[in-house]
Structure 1
């Protein structure tokens, strides 16, 4: 692929260092910890770039040459069977570029899933395992860890949205995983999570199995000067310009959160012809267009909520940030009662429509916040 002709402001995936902004110190630290035998809990709010940092770290020559690397996203998992399924599926996908021999080694070890992995005439694997095929997740998990332990190279494994395991219905999932990980001498792990309180409980509570088993890394926003230099470089490298105040306004409006800035800059770049400049006066129109593109999604989300949940979500959206969510002023302003707020809030938090960061409540999607403010 000729990366020079793509939009340089990626909103998903990772294709290389040229399109990755800063995180120099974080990359050095994560690389150092992992290559010196440490497991790491990487914690930040969502859309801050945790997965991008992990993939960037895994692409470093010091790691890429010496390690097998796997990124396992368990965000959508609901139980241990889902976890095992995703771990197997994503390991197979990561092994595909390494050829049939690498995957055969995995299949020979993970006997319980063997029938669900087939090869075409070219020797390329096909993952035909269904969720229901994981009949004995404990056995399959043991087989997967056996593969990891006996892989030809040491392994680095990132498990994304790791806090999901605390909601599994099975008992002792944390203890089971902790035992396997503790006894796995051929791998180190990154446990990435976006729910600070849940991740804190897993790794910092003396009553939990993972207590004191990891190095903690908190991921903050990329400094504005670094982001501004990154944006200007890519506009200028492709024959365009962007006003510095447009970058400054975007950074401040979205509190430095990586994905939202990337989304706006992706759009701004796409409408700026070579030889032209993107100006601050165009920014509001760009944000409105992005929000409008998602309006049907937001309407459907509201439709699925009960009236009290909808009323509370709209109220939080209009306020932007709410610290006294059962305070008299907030309740009176939006005609809410403390009891209805507490019940509705529990559901909105569970659905991850609303976030709670140290007692401050916000709508998770910052574009949805803007959409709600229009009502």
Structure 2
């Protein structure tokens, strides 16, 4: 049996990457021309896959560009970040581990790194510092890529995923100022910063009071168009010896509202349970499987909400628009206008709802289907 052509839950392969031609071209141009770039979009819209695809293309065709992707999801404090940053920069500076080990004396003036390498240098290379000394000499780490670039005639492209996680560090406001102060002076290093918490990323980069305001170009990632999804799904079935009926293929992006993660997931489930030809019956079965698979996550999300926040979601689900009107507040037990405003902000900041054309809607289309089934007993079977 052939592997599924539809990938979700991880960054997609080049084969499964679909229809981001304009975004890919813009990001590629920005990074090759030294323009720092921030990518902002809701969770699971394909930011990481886009960056990995573009970085892969650069690595293949521009050998003088040293590319780095660092995931900050599990980094807990400034010191961990600085050590990881230093390690990845040193690794990217040379393909020879012997040069990594000798770099300590060459590039550090005040810090004394503890470098170690195991049987497999790519996975067993580490950089450690005395944390007290590290705090005194943050500039040596933040300037490290520029220092190496100048000494060795290189250029770096550094991509930091889940960048907003840095905001949880103790002393972040001062650290944020240092990041901007040093990085904005770099001539041989280009930064690509992106993350999954849209409201936090927007506040970091779009707030005039914050240091990273106007740090570079901001890309607001949009949804992939329906027709492109239809073409992609058809091709995926065809390339693996299957077919999908026209109505079935059209309904997949429609019911998932062109949400990249869920279009791929629903297409995969449909492909997986179909034999030769996928019909609406297979899509319905796949949709039930998808919602059931995600139900524990949705249940946990609901448990973290207050009763008035759940009631607010009910009003959103019913397409209400005048949330502070007496009728709507009484109908859904929303509390006072102040409560309405507070809950709206909380739900938007949690990326549960979003404002589109002055109306509120669910960010997660599968969660909306589950929510409507749980609270309104609405069937999500497609006729």
Q: TM-score, normalised by structure 1?
A: 0.81
Shift in CA distance, 104/316, structure 1 to aligned 2, threshold 3 Å: farther
Tell me what 1:287 maps to.
287
Structure 2 counterpart of 1:154: 155
How many residue pairs match? The answer is: 365
1:33 pairs, out of 30, 34, 46, with: 30
Name stretches of at least 5 consecutive residues in structure 1 with no aligned partner: none
Q: Which whole-Å deviations, capped at 9, do the CAs of 1:282-310 have from their partners, x for residues lacking one?
A: 22221111111122232233334444344
C-alpha deviation, 1:184, in angstroms: 2.1
State the match for 1:45 in structure 2.
42
Q: 1:113–1:129: 8 Å Cα contact kept in structure 2?
A: no
1:40–1:332 Cα change, 3 Å? same
How far apart are 1:345 and its partner, in Å? 4.2
State how 1:107-186 maps to structure 2 within 5 Å. Answer: 114-115=113-114, 118-123=116-121, 125-126=123-124, 138-139=135-136, 141-149=138-146, 150-151=148-149, 152=152, 153-165=154-166, 168=169, 170=171, 171-186=173-188
Q: Any gaps of 5 or more consecutive residues in structure 2?
A: 375-383
Q: Distance in 1 between matches of 2:130 and 2:290?
A: 40
Where does 1:339-354 land on structure 2 (aligned, <5 Å)? 339-354=338-353
Q: Give the 5 Å matches for 1:214-363.
A: 214-273=216-275, 276-313=276-313, 315=314, 318-319=317-318, 323-338=321-336, 339-356=338-355, 360-363=359-362
Q: Larger Rg: 1 or 2?
A: 2
Q: Is the 8 A contact 1:27 1:57 kept in 2?
A: yes
Give the CA deviation at 1:122: 4.7
TM-score normalised according to structure 2 size: 0.79
- The match for 1:370 is 369
Task: Tell me, in whole angstroms, the C-alpha distance in 2 between the residues paired with 1:361 and 1:86.
Answer: 39
Between 1:347-356 and 1:261-270, the stretch displaced more is 347-356
Q: Per the alignment, do residues 72 and 323 of structure 1 end up closer, same or farther by CA in structure 2, a change over 3 Å counting?
A: farther
Displacement of 1:193 = 4.3
SS at match of 2:369: helix
Compared with structure 1, are the counterparts of its residues 243 and 113 closer, same or farther at alpha carbon in structure 2 (3 Å cutoff)? Answer: farther
Alpha-carbon RMSD across the aligned residues, in angstroms, is 3.6
User: Per the alignment, in what secondary structure is the counterpart of residue 185 of structure 1?
Assistant: coil
